[in-house]
Amino acid sequence: MRLGNRNNNQLRHVSIVTGVNKYAEGSCLVSFGDTKVMCNATVEKRVPLFLKGSGKGWVTAEYSMLPRSTDQRVERDVKRGAVNGRASEIQRLIGRSLRSVVDMSKMGGEYQIIVDCDVIQADGGTRTASITGGFVAMILAFNKMVKDRIIRQIPVREYVAAVSAGVVRDELLLDLDYNEDSNCKSDVNFVLSENGGIVEIQGTAEAEPFSEENFMQLFCMAKDGINDLIRIQKAVLKDIF
């Protein structure tokens, strides 16, 4: 039995609360069960070096965990001297996922949106929560740019959200919590768009290779989960996008 009597194909309780930071151009606190991520989107009038002079904008992300977001306290990155490999991998994933639905040539020039995803509490699925919440923060930031007359409309083609699915003790489960994730034989993160497009698929066999059949079943389950997540995003953003 899953915690809270969830069905195998059921999301945890998901909530997205916007406007939680008075400075950020867009912000939300996203929860997938006990996983809580603060997503703050910042608009800056500058782009990375490789885009200078291009007239195009950019969207990027940073991801970090508070030291006590986990059961065992972890050292801050700065103490170890570098962003750890896992965090670096996740923040690159978040950035790519958000950029996949943005028309960066319509960002009003060389503007950059940085989405900071800071994990307040981690209980599995921090990267999928970060993408799902990060999308909301990004839309809010674009909306601020519309209000500030930098752009005339939000340059985003469709919604995007993310969810994990995996095989745990021969059961196929959606939206794994930390305990399930730790016992997982194979774990796939799906980032899908509103129209069913694939943005990212990252499937990993934890201990040994898994079958193509399992992969296809997890894919199916994830598509339904993503639809639910996008419904929740839309409820929050309905007045503006």
Binding footprint of its own copies on the chain (CB under 8 A): 21-24, 27, 34, 38, 40, 42, 44, 62, 64, 66-71, 73, 76-78, 81-83, 85-86, 88-89, 91-92, 96, 100-101, 114, 116, 118, 120-121, 157-158, 160, 186, 188, 192-193, 195-205, 207-212, 215, 219
Nearer to its own copies, 7 or 197 (CB): 197
Cα-only R_g, the chain: 18
Q: How far is the CB of 176 from its own copies (least distance, A)?
A: 17
Residue 1 Cβ vs its own copies, minimum distance, rounded to whole Å:
21
Which of 95, 108 has the CB closer to its own copies?
95
Smallest separation (angstroms) from its own copies to the CB of 151: 19
CB 111 to its own copies: min, Å: 13
Q: What is the C-alpha to C-alpha distance for residues 31 and 16, in angstroms, rounded to an integer?
A: 6
Q: What is the four-CA torsion angle of 190, 195, 199, 201, rounded to 10 degrees?
A: 30
Give the separation between CA 66 and CA 76, rounded to whole angstroms.
8
CA distance 123 to 70: 8
Nearer to its own copies, 125 or 239 (CB): 125
**Which three-class secondary structure state does DSSP give residue 132?**
helix
Separation between Cα atoms, residue 211 and residue 208, nearest integer Å: 10
How far is 75 from 225, CA to CA, in rounded Å?
33
Smaller CB separation from its own copies, 7 or 61 = 61
Nearer CB in complex with its own copies: 68/147: 68
- Take residue 60 and report the two structure tokens written for it: 């990027």
**Contact call for residues 161 and 132 (beta carbons, < 8 A):** yes
Whether 130 and 117 have beta carbons less than 8 Å apart is answered as yes
Q: What letter would DSSP give residue 205?
A: E
Separation of alpha carbons 218 and 201, rounded Å? 11
**Beta carbon of residue 89, minimum distance to its own copies (angstroms, whole number):** 4
Q: Give the residue with the Cβ less far from its own copies, 7 or 78.
A: 78
Q: How far is the CB of 83 from its own copies (least distance, A)?
A: 6
